[in-house]
Structure 1
Amino acid sequence: MGFNGEEMEVGVERVFIGAGCNRIVNNVSWGACDLLSFGAQNAVAIFCPKTAQILTTLPAHKAFVNCTHWLPSSKFAFKARNLERHYLLSGDADGTIFLWEFSLADKKWRNVLQVPEKHKKGVTCISAVMVSQTDAIFASSSSDGIVSVWEVTLPSSPGGECKLSCLDTLLVGKKPMVALSLTELPGNSGHLALAMGGLDNKIHIYSGERTGKFVHACELKGHTDWIRSLDFSVPIYENGEKSSLLLVSSSQDKGIRIWKMALHKSLANNKKEETSLASYIKGPIFLAGSSSYQISLESLLIGHEDWVYSVEWQPPQSSSIDDIECYQPQSILSASMDKTMMIWQPEKTTGIWMNMVTVGELSHCALGFYGGHWSPNGDSILAHGYGGSFHLWRNVGIDFDDWKPQKVPSGHFAAVSDISWARDGEYLLSVSHDQTSRVFSAWCDESSSEDGKTWHEIARPQVHGHDINCVTLIRGKGNHRFVSGADEKVARVFEAPLSFLKTLNHATSQKSSFTDDLPVDMQILGANMSALGLSQKPIYVQASSDSKERNNSEGIDTLETIPEAVPVVFTEPPIEEQLAWHTLWPESHKLYGHGNELFSVCGDHEGKLVATSCKAQLASVAEIWLWQVGSWKAVGRLHSHTLTVTQLEFSHDNSFLLSVSRDRHFSIFAIKQTGADEISHQLVIKQEAHKRIIWACSWNPFGHEFATGSRDKTVKIWELENGSSVKLLTTLLTFKSSVTALSWLGVDRQRNHGIIAVGMESGLIELWSFSNTKSENSSIVVPNAALVVRFDPFICHVSAVHRLRWKNAKKNEDGTSVQLASCGDDHCVRVFQVSV
């Protein structure tokens, strides 16, 4: 893109994505390529368990992603050694299913196709079986009471077409199916079995051929509540023949059942079997082609104390060179709402199935697991939980099992409403409607990546009972502090405890500057959450040992005694259990004054003032409050708008405060410090600027130009002249979607040249260059704006961008690269590296 006669090259790279998992069963899948997929709002996110980083998000769905399923999944990893391309199915709450292709060679994704006949309601489960290297059959269930079975032929050469054909559509009635598993039947090539279970407490077995129709073969009774998960093993070899299969089922009745499906032999052979324990309950017999199969209940596993949401066989390992035969380990992973995952195996001597390993959450704040998955080689297990969180354990034992927690990506599990950079950019703070605030930072670790930095969540300062709408980190000297506003009428001030400052030192390898400003006698180590309140109380350095003794001596269990938080200094990125409980910041003040839920907050650039606004439908409520940092007194109430003020920003010389509102106006207030505790403020100008709500505004770091962005799909650039009047400089070309976020970066002060980042309701981000320079021949100032770069949709958000923030509003003098952070409705916090 030409700019002022010069070429302006801008490169954009993805640095980090933080996102939580949609809180729904069947959402996560572990692929044979050793990547995990999950739904994060309308995006399909892909994460790499080795680096604990989210690699990308796939944009296409228009509704919440309910389930994902790899082709091949970890179950068929033994067949996938030589594959160059892997595929992924994803289904959403609208009933739409997409097929994606992932090329291992160039790590590129493409959206291959959309399944033509969509379900009328949300997709609840997808299950697939690889019948050959290029053929897969998958079934999808939905709450519309239909189960569809499809055959997909994958291309054998790069860039080829995927062919899709519908084998059958099964009507399962008013009680929908929520669990599916497909398998090839042993001893009879070409026949398939489909197990499904749901709200009628029975397991239904359908048999069919690869050419089409599936018929109801039999049903298995035993569970007394909804069936939640089903998984077929691969065929088990007995005497060199594939003669039987195992099916494991789990239910809300807290039980797990193992069923054996054996090729039915003649009566002569049957007499021997009747004495064995394994087939003590004979079940139904069904026909498939020329073979018949006997089903029997093999085992009933009791151990979980709550609903068992998922069961999965350990992936088979190939046992021969040509990969035709494979060995199915006798090992099952179950995940439950009782906050544990268990591995079940038969005892060597008796053959009775026992719980061999239990891992899980011990923290009080978790609410159970929605699903558990094996890694392709069976040495790691992953759970996803109610808090949108992942939990990964790896077996690090050599001669014996020793399961240890591992690092995983983390992030918000609801819309992320606001973000703010620390003063020197050491970390990024985000707040969300999931009622938490989170700190993300690059962690210096020489072994992890080329530049030794990977991003992780390092603290969760605020865990709250209200959706949090806005936040600002205070810029001035001294300790790290932030002000956040939520769906309550109070703004809360938090201060970093000692444990966080020391953790941050580890993360940044002592390169941080804030330690110089710290009080020597800092006494607050961390914070505790009271059982029934929302305030986070400080834990003092001396008191940390006394409080334990005090708690033990009382010995009475009252409602107020919840586990004491133990503030910890982390020397490596913390995992979920630690974040949720041991990284809180103490609350130092509450700011009372607003009449409604807080909506916007901003701080000035010296850390002396904070401005707040709340939701409003009357002019009297739409006032902006000014607070003095430190004393936290209200020092001003600014009146101008008639509806909610949507965003506030101080000019970079702190002399003006800009506000934009739902009432389509912007206002500029002149702010002066008149005394030690006194501020004078005056409304300089109020002007109607757009035809619809104004969502965003941003000042030029080098002057008094500013940009406003609106639902009317325009961005306008204005100049404040002589501190009293405003002139419209230019309007950027109309965007395809509402403009919801703006951030202005100063690049070159001499030429008053900057870059404006524009975020849209569609999730897309664009960078525009702007300069306001005198033309060579005359003294006329010519505003010049041009589109510099559109971000690739695969690195953008998939729904509305709420906030964009450049790391330092004035670009580093030494480098040509700067970081841009964004957050949005898709639960994601993103950081981009922009080279200018």
Structure 2
Amino acid sequence: MTVLDLCEFLKPGKVPCWTDQKSLLGPTRLYFGRRHQLVKSIPLKGHAEAVCAVDAVYQSDEPDLNLLIASAASDSTVRIWSRHGSEAKCIEILQFGNGFVMDVCLSFLPGSNVPILACGGDDCKIHLFIQQNGQFQKTLILPGHEDWIRGIEWAVCGEDLFLASCAQDCLIRIWKVCTKSKQLPETEDDSIRLKENIFTVKDTDTTYAVTLESVLAGHENWVYAVHWQPSFSRDGSMQQPMRILSASMDKTVIIWEPDKESGVWLEQVRVGEVGGNTLGFFDCQFSPDGSMIIAHAFHGALHLWKQATVNKKEWTPEVVISGHFNSVEDVKWDPEGEFIISVGSDQTTRLFAPWKRKQEAEVTWHEIARPQVHGYDMRCLAMIGRFQFVSGADEKVLRVFRAPKNFIENFSNITGIPQSSDLPEGATVYGHGYEIFCVACNNSNTVIASACKASKKEHAAIILWSTTSWKKLQSLPFHNLTVTQLAFSPNDKFLLAVSRDRNWSLWRKQDSSESGPVFSCCAYTDKNTAVHSRIIWSCDWTPDSKYFITGSRDKKVIIWGQCDLSVTTEGNMLDSIKPCSTVLDAGDSVTAVGISRVLTPHGRYIVAVGLENGKIILYTWKQSGQEPALADWTTCAEMDNSQSHALAVKRLCWRHHAGRAGHNDLNSSEWLQLASCGADHCVKIFNINRFAL
């Protein structure tokens, strides 16, 4: 499986271009069109509940003329859609009362162009519908399974039509559909004959028979998916051999074939997982030539196996992309910009790195480590140097992890970057009274700041921790509700906090020669000075520590500061921190903001804004005068639907310096990289042409 770039890189002088370099697992979108040409998708709206299955067949040799689509949803209906060119509409609704259809599959009756629809669901029966006079009519009900039917699929073999079904009874059943005239003649003795289910199609006046061909027993748990192997004949038409792939919750995937002599279906190949915390496989597929199989596991991972060239019975696992299977809450680059770490509500921490194979020029990203598998949903993380990080979860404590020696060695082998470290494996635990919500580390890796969920002021205090002793340094009470994000200034002189209470607070570090607290509050907003009218979700600093940015649910993005925060003299800064930009209306709730540490060639700040609708917009900004009205926002690029997150953007994180991880760019200053994560389970990495901004 490969993940293709969705756009070309644009050269200097052209309009800025977003390139979704890698989308590390998540929902799949289908677009029609040639390679590198995305055609506008057609949404099919009508179901009242979640759609769980969809299938389609072309009713003409010209694909753009007529496409017949069937979809099943948890609203107990199956909808039939017809697409003609760029228009699609619902032509029929099949009602199933209080039942649920788990899977649907369309095909055509043998020797005709009459569509046949198979539906399998929670009544343990297969319902066959035949389209006659423009309407689908229920023709047969095939009993046999003893539990919910999870998967069904048609296959054409010669002049016959076969249907494979699988269910939670751990069995696979194969059915054969053919014209009545092709059935074996009835015998006069007492030999066993298969039961025939007969039906006649009025439009063609043809009689068909459906018989149970075989029952496959081999799985020890629910069978979730069954698929026939596709193949192509010499003339380009599609034919399907008698070969079946099945996936089960027993952690195995099986290839079935009929014996050449007896015709009895037998298990030919079994692959899967042994041990671990996986709960089995949801789905599986053959590659077009049948030389590879891929399976989708319960915890979101993809598993790939390839057939050996010599011994056809031998299948070996291959490298494949993987990722989170729930909302990704936070993502961070390592200080050197060679890998990223993400945490999610799937209770895991995952490390992704680029891998450049010696024989291939393309750099691909892969999950190379899962340093933390937790019992609580993960919420946030911060890097403490290159091979140490701190993570926060709903368990109310922070955990600090250091990379073990074997990881350092594996990382070096995969990325080709030499490393020397004798770090031991270890973890340190410290915490709050409630679920951890955000954490940040200063740039000198000496202080950790953290905050937890809070509905009262006493619980909303920020806590500072030492990274040498892991002891509590200070508590910073100010906010009345949960602090949503923390950010140290690049020069480590300030700590910024934003909160659900719609305000921000700025804390200044005291000189080591001074007595008193490590940090003291030097500026803040309140109900009289606040600009944001809703929750402030995110914040960040400009690389020179002069300004900071806030983004809120009220759709506003604002840059704050004074002439130069980094050279502030002693005294009260309360009245000197004001908006330095005009209020930017992002068009939707702002859930994430990030400022690049590298400026444009013209000296402008590069700002990425993530929205609740999944979009990411790129701006540049530079203060063009002392008055806020003269501030200058410029929109550079907006991610299109094919590259957007499907749900809210949770975090944006720029690579600390120019260049692309895993690449030996001749001109590294040309490219910037931005990592994003979202509630759609995705982690995305974008290449951005700096000279096009």
TM-score with structure 1 setting the length: 0.74
The one of 135, 160, 185 aligned to 1:213: 135
Cα distance change on mapping 1:727 and 1:338 into 2, 3 Å:
same
Tell me the residue number matched to 2:305. 393
Tell me the residue number matched to 1:550. none
The one of 7, 10, 15 aligned to 2:21: 15
Tell me the residue number matched to 1:203. 126
Amino acid at match of 1:738: S
Q: For 1:327 and 1:221, locate their aligned partners in 2 and report how far apart those are by CA, in whole Å.
A: 28
Q: For 1:446 and 1:13, locate their aligned partners in 2 and report how far apart those are by CA, in whole Å.
A: 24
Q: For 1:339 and 1:780, locate their aligned partners in 2 and report how far apart those are by CA, in whole Å.
A: 61
5+ residue gaps in structure 2?
1-11, 661-666
Cα offset, 1:166, TM superposition:
4.8
Are the aligned partners of 2:582 and 2:628 in contact in 1 as well (CA < 8 Å)?
no
Tell me the residue number matched to 2:50. 122
Tell me the residue number matched to 2:611. 760
Which 10-residue stretch deviates more, 370-379 or 779-788?
A: 779-788
Tell me the residue number matched to 2:37. 108
Residue 410 of structure 2 aligns to a residue whose secondary structure is helix
Q: For 1:733 and 1:411, locate their aligned partners in 2 and report how far apart those are by CA, in whole Å.
A: 34
Q: For 1:733 and 1:780, locate their aligned partners in 2 and report how far apart those are by CA, in whole Å.
A: 12
Q: For 2:13 and 2:622, locate their aligned partners in 1 and report how far apart those are by CA, in whole Å.
A: 14
Q: Does 1:819 align with 2:673?
A: yes
Amino acid at match of 1:221: P
Q: For 1:492 and 1:501, locate their aligned partners in 2 and report how far apart those are by CA, in whole Å.
A: 20
Q: Does 1:741 align with 2:574?
A: no
Cα offset, 1:679, TM superposition:
6.1
Cα distance change on mapping 1:120 and 1:404 into 2, 3 Å:
same
Cα offset, 1:602, TM superposition:
0.4
Listed one character per residue, the Cα deviations across residues 303-336 of structure 1 (whole Å, up to 9, x for unaligned) are 1101111111111432x53x56x65312111111
The one of 225, 235, 238 aligned to 2:147: 225
Amino acid at match of 1:713: K
Cα distance change on mapping 1:379 and 1:224 into 2, 3 Å:
same
Q: For 1:748 and 1:113, locate their aligned partners in 2 and report how far apart those are by CA, in whole Å.
A: 39
Cα distance change on mapping 1:814 and 1:102 into 2, 3 Å:
closer
Tell me the residue number matched to 2:220. 305
Cα offset, 1:620, TM superposition:
0.8
Cα distance change on mapping 1:437 and 1:215 into 2, 3 Å:
same
Q: For 1:663 and 1:629, locate their aligned partners in 2 and report how far apart those are by CA, in whole Å.
A: 29
Listed one character per residue, the Cα deviations across residues 147-204 of structure 1 (whole Å, up to 9, x for unaligned) are 2333434xxxxxxx334465543223322222222221113x2323222221111222
Are the aligned partners of 1:821 and 1:832 in contact in 2 as well (CA < 8 Å)?
yes
Tell me the residue number matched to 1:531. none
Cα distance change on mapping 1:223 and 1:675 into 2, 3 Å:
farther
Residue 793 of structure 1 aligns to a residue whose secondary structure is coil
Q: Does 1:706 align with 2:622?
A: no
Q: Does 1:625 align with 2:473?
A: no
Q: Does 1:469 align with 2:398?
A: no
Listed one character per residue, the Cα deviations across residues 331-374 of structure 1 (whole Å, up to 9, x for unaligned) are 11111111111111112232211111101111321001111112
Are the aligned partners of 1:207 and 1:217 in contact in 2 as well (CA < 8 Å)?
yes
Listed one character per residue, the Cα deviations across residues 78-135 of structure 1 (whole Å, up to 9, x for unaligned) are xxxxxxxxxx4xxxxxxxxxxx42323xx2222342335x122222221223343324
Cα distance change on mapping 1:7 and 1:786 into 2, 3 Å:
farther
Q: For 2:180 and 2:449, locate their aligned partners in 1 and report how far apart those are by CA, in whole Å.
A: 77
Cα offset, 1:640, TM superposition:
1.2
Cα offset, 1:497, TM superposition:
0.7
5+ residue gaps in structure 1?
1-5, 21-39, 46-57, 59-87, 89-99, 154-160, 525-585
Q: For 2:350 and 2:139, locate their aligned partners in 1 and report how far apart those are by CA, in whole Å.
A: 52
Listed one character per residue, the Cα deviations across residues 663-682 of structure 1 (whole Å, up to 9, x for unaligned) are 11111111136389996221
Q: For 2:464 and 2:657, locate their aligned partners in 1 and report how far apart those are by CA, in whole Å.
A: 22
Are the aligned partners of 1:763 and 1:800 in contact in 2 as well (CA < 8 Å)?
yes
Residue 823 of structure 1 aligns to a residue whose secondary structure is strand
Are the aligned partners of 1:601 and 1:648 in contact in 2 as well (CA < 8 Å)?
yes
Are the aligned partners of 1:746 and 1:753 in contact in 2 as well (CA < 8 Å)?
no
Cα distance change on mapping 1:754 and 1:330 into 2, 3 Å:
same
Residue 222 of structure 1 aligns to a residue whose secondary structure is coil
Tell me the residue number matched to 2:400. 493
Q: For 1:411 and 1:511, locate their aligned partners in 2 and report how far apart those are by CA, in whole Å.
A: 26
Q: For 2:32 and 2:220, locate their aligned partners in 1 and report how far apart those are by CA, in whole Å.
A: 40
Tell me the residue number matched to 1:444. 356
Are the aligned partners of 1:283 and 1:295 in contact in 2 as well (CA < 8 Å)?
yes
Cα distance change on mapping 1:103 and 1:811 into 2, 3 Å:
closer
Cα offset, 1:811, TM superposition:
8.9
Tell me the residue number matched to 1:281. 194
Aligned pairs (5 A) from 1:416-435: 416-435=328-347
Amino acid at match of 1:833: N
Listed one character per residue, the Cα deviations across residues 245-276 of structure 1 (whole Å, up to 9, x for unaligned) are 22211111111111222311299x61469888
Cα distance change on mapping 1:119 and 1:746 into 2, 3 Å:
closer
Q: For 2:643 and 2:76, locate their aligned partners in 1 and report how far apart those are by CA, in whole Å.
A: 36
Tell me the residue number matched to 2:4. none
Are the aligned partners of 1:702 and 1:752 in contact in 2 as well (CA < 8 Å)?
no
Cα offset, 1:767, TM superposition:
2.1
The one of 339, 353, 368 aligned to 2:265: 353
Tell me the residue number matched to 2:287. 375
Q: For 1:389 and 1:437, locate their aligned partners in 2 and report how far apart those are by CA, in whole Å.
A: 14
Q: For 1:787 and 1:294, locate their aligned partners in 2 and report how far apart those are by CA, in whole Å.
A: 64
The one of 252, 256, 261 aligned to 2:177: 261
The one of 635, 642, 651 aligned to 1:794: 642
Which 10-residue stretch deviates more, 211-220 or 407-416?
A: 211-220
Q: For 2:58 and 2:190, locate their aligned partners in 1 and report how far apart those are by CA, in whole Å.
A: 36
Amino acid at match of 1:468: M
Tell me the residue number matched to 1:295. 210
Q: Does 1:171 align with 2:95?
A: yes
Listed one character per residue, the Cα deviations across residues 532-588 of structure 1 (whole Å, up to 9, x for unaligned) are xxxxxxxxxxxxxxxxxxxxxxxxxxxxxxxxxxxxxxxxxxxxxxxxxxxxxx442
Residue 359 of structure 1 aligns to a residue whose secondary structure is strand
Residue 103 of structure 1 aligns to a residue whose secondary structure is coil
Cα offset, 1:835, TM superposition:
1.8
Amino acid at match of 1:745: S
Cα offset, 1:401, TM superposition:
2.5
Which 10-residue stretch deviates more, 309-318 or 651-660?
A: 309-318
Cα distance change on mapping 1:168 and 1:787 into 2, 3 Å:
closer
Q: For 1:741 and 1:681, locate their aligned partners in 2 and report how far apart those are by CA, in whole Å.
A: 26
Residue 614 of structure 2 aligns to a residue whose secondary structure is coil
Amino acid at match of 1:283: E
Q: For 2:517 and 2:446, locate their aligned partners in 1 and report how far apart those are by CA, in whole Å.
A: 11
Tell me the residue number matched to 1:608. 446
Cα distance change on mapping 1:380 and 1:341 into 2, 3 Å:
same
